[in-house]
A and B are shown apart, each in its own frame.
Chain A
């Protein structure tokens, strides 16, 4: 049995000034490893994600947005109007006691409010401050705006996604924001490690676009002299076959064979059909040239099997093949459930929720939900009175003045 204090970050306080996904996902990872995260929201409206679904039973309610509740689990929530001088002073008091400050506001706005790193450093030199912006804090595009799709597009992800006869396809479900949020958590952890070893705080300036720039095999082309390498091949992968999605009895199945021995095992699975010996299909690149013919030849066999049957055959023959799963199949997946991946949560406002668990399992620490996501301003009293020493009367005054 491991106690909470055994979690690696349980001695840290993190202040989050962010909305949406990337910033909150970054601090969620820190919160899940034990850090105490204080989420700062605008009085009245709060994080805009509160207004976006999915909502249980599709009833919109700012305290019941599934994605907000997921991203803000294990955090404390306060309201503070940082557009007021008084609000910024209070934020400064919080930052002087904090270890980490994560923010995802435009650079110009943070500078105008006097909340940029140079100013914050004076309050607390050992603070690690992480800024998440689409293009980073320096360079000609530093003040450009971006939504999720433009992040993946500018990072060359979209270029290689989709069908060759259509425009590039964006990825589903805010990939740009989640991926850069995870990268921001890694960079913050790194700065914390440096602080532990060398005793210094510093600024982490993360560029969301660069997260994608560094990430893709497409960049393999860049390595040589900026060649265009990866392209769109729809359900196939260029140059190799079978590396494709094909219809089967109850949906779609994906085969990913690279080595020749894998193709031989695919033929075995199909009962070694006569056409398998055709010289036109002798190697992976000639198979790719005749991909339409092969799709047609393999079609009837695939259509006579279900996803589950094909997956079992692939596992038995050690062929890299996989069902194209729907979300419902993922949520009910036998393997994920055997690993107890999904976590059932009872939320005071939203009721029973199923959340995905941690991205990895540690031998020494347990991923757990210590507290549900905060209601708007839920921990004002705890933080302002308990931490910063304000009285109930101060709190009431500031509330009336629109600061809290």
Chain B
């Protein structure tokens, strides 16, 4: 049995993270993805660290590589008048066109949905911009890290009394990528049943909003703003990150029920304080949470985070070591599930790429192609996918259409 999306063709004008990560997932699942790049607007992540061997280079960024494996890469100068014929052939070749530029960019290249539909009526197009194609602020440029603040994450994600914090990673880009993939699959399903193309306007802001539901509902229904709580939780105690042996090592412990509290006490060896009246019920624990956190920290701080997680999990207490990049790389669970796949890259050497987060029992994923170097497959795409003749390719090449 082949891959799930064998035979599916995707023309990918997307950049940075939201679009590229979605098309990477589809490529890993068997789709043929042609990523079009353009010297005038090189993907920002090509210049993001970390770089292979610490040496910067347009084909050496791991951040770019992680979101683009499995794709063919071509350069096409969309401002060149003769690029039009190539674009038309690419659109006719494709089932799906993906882009996530600031609204107006595709229009400048005459590649809006109306233009694409003229080239191929049943084309599926997804546009995944920051704030959608319509509305007063749709043309504001920006990044996922900004959207965290705009969507309402930052105002409740911080320590009480301190400045709104942020994640160092552009969280909303990743949620946007998941929804982009779902939308494409839904549109394909629709086209299969009804024979018609679909245009999708995805707003990364609206996608991010899905993940703040309880807080949004509380605000809309009761006019309440969620106060920053750090790591604490209304219905659980203890609930936080506790320091462990080593530098910047932590283990998360979350206790929602009396049963879990009993198990936690047992693993800690029933210290005297744990039997005190002030920790005897969820309400009492909540009242004395500062003391409780300190006492648990005194126990965790002398232990290895893996040991804390292992012992608690064995007893049935949900605990999770706070993993960093290195931990993930060495994680026995991810290793068992073959999450990281090693692929040889012409410039970067061997790197590990992430597999999809699920396993399908019959149709496997496929990961054997690294992220493309800038323009690596221009000729291959033209010849093999578009059936371009030698002469035609050489002519367009010499006229600068592919640079």
Chain A residues in the interface with B (C-beta under 8 A): 6, 8-9, 11, 29, 33, 52-58, 66-67, 70-71, 117, 135-136, 138-142, 144-151, 153-163, 166-175, 178-180, 182-187, 189-194, 196, 198, 200, 202-211, 213-235, 237-238, 243, 245, 247, 252, 254, 256, 258, 314-315, 318, 320-331, 334-336, 338-339, 341-342, 353-365
Measured between beta carbons, the chain A residues less than 8 angstroms from B250 are: 153, 158, 167-168
| Bound CA span A151–B139, Å | 35
Contact call B215/A356, Cβ cutoff below 8 A? no
| Bound CA span A163–B157, Å | 11
Task: Please list 26 pairs of residues, one from A and one from B, whose beta carbons are closer than 8 Å in the complex, sorted by A's number.
Answer: A8-B190, A66-B214, A139-B336, A141-B333, A150-B318, A151-B320, A154-B323, A161-B157, A161-B168, A172-B215, A173-B211, A179-B174, A185-B182, A190-B4, A209-B333, A222-B340, A223-B352, A224-B52, A235-B164, A245-B149, A325-B151, A327-B218, A339-B132, A341-B209, A359-B210, A362-B186
Instruction: Identify which of residues 338-374 in chain B touch chain A, using a CB-to-CB cut-off of 8 Å.
Output: 339-340, 351-363
Which residue in B256, B327, B336, B351 is a CB contact (below 8 Å) of A223?
A: B351
Instruction: Identify which of residues 142-175 in chain B touch chain A, using a CB-to-CB cut-off of 8 Å.
Output: 142-143, 145-147, 149-159, 162-171, 174-175
Contact call B333/A139, Cβ cutoff below 8 A? yes
Contact call A223/B62, Cβ cutoff below 8 A? yes
| CB-CB under 8 A for A149 and B252, given A9-B189, A221-B325 | yes
Measured between beta carbons, the chain B residues less than 8 angstroms from A318 are: 140-141
Stretch at the interface among B230-238, B277-285, B377-385: B230-238
Instruction: Identify which of residues 1-43 in chain B touch chain A, using a CB-to-CB cut-off of 8 Å.
Output: 1, 4-5, 17, 21, 25, 29
Instruction: Identify which of residues 112-146 in chain B touch chain A, using a CB-to-CB cut-off of 8 Å.
Output: 113, 126, 128, 131-132, 134-143, 145-146
Which residue in A159, A200, A338 is a CB contact (below 8 Å) of B323?
A: A159
Measured between beta carbons, the chain B residues less than 8 angstroms from A53 are: 214, 218
Measured between beta carbons, the chain A residues less than 8 angstroms from B218 are: 53-54, 66, 327
Contact call B332/A139, Cβ cutoff below 8 A? yes
| CB-CB under 8 A for A196 and B328, given A67-B213, A213-B339 | no
Contact call B332/A314, Cβ cutoff below 8 A? no
Determine which residue in B17, B159, B189 has the highest number of CB atoms from chain A within 10 A of its CB, and name it. Answer: B189
Contact call A220/B210, Cβ cutoff below 8 A? no
| Bound CA span A342–B250, Å | 39
| CB-CB under 8 A for A207 and B199, given A8-B189, A214-B354 | no
Contact call B212/A321, Cβ cutoff below 8 A? no
Contact call B169/A230, Cβ cutoff below 8 A? yes
Measured between beta carbons, the chain A residues less than 8 angstroms from B94 are: none
Measured between beta carbons, the chain A residues less than 8 angstroms from B264 are: none
Contact call A157/B167, Cβ cutoff below 8 A? yes
Minimum C-beta distance from A256 to chain B (A): 5
Kindly report which residue of chain B lies nearest to residue A360, judged by CB atoms.
B202
Contact call A327/B219, Cβ cutoff below 8 A? yes
Contact call B329/A196, Cβ cutoff below 8 A? no
Question: Which 6 residue pairs across A and B have the least CB separation, nearest first?
Answer: A226-B329, A150-B320, A139-B336, A223-B62, A360-B202, A54-B218
- Interface check B217, CB cutoff 8 A: yes
Measured between beta carbons, the chain B residues less than 8 angstroms from A323 are: 149-150
| Bound CA span A61–B382, Å | 62
- Interface check B303, CB cutoff 8 A: no
Contact call B231/A167, Cβ cutoff below 8 A? yes
Minimum C-beta distance from B389 to chain A (A): 33
Measured between beta carbons, the chain A residues less than 8 angstroms from B29 are: 190
Determine which residue in A56, A178, A190 has the highest number of CB atoms from chain B within 10 A of its CB, and name it. Answer: A190
| CB-CB under 8 A for A360 and B179, given A139-B337, A194-B363, A227-B50 | yes
Sample of 19 further A-B pairs with CB below 8 A, known A167-B242, A190-B29, A225-B329: A54-B214, A70-B217, A158-B322, A160-B167, A183-B358, A187-B360, A206-B357, A217-B17, A219-B354, A232-B168, A245-B165, A315-B137, A324-B155, A330-B151, A336-B205, A339-B132, A354-B221, A361-B132, A362-B187
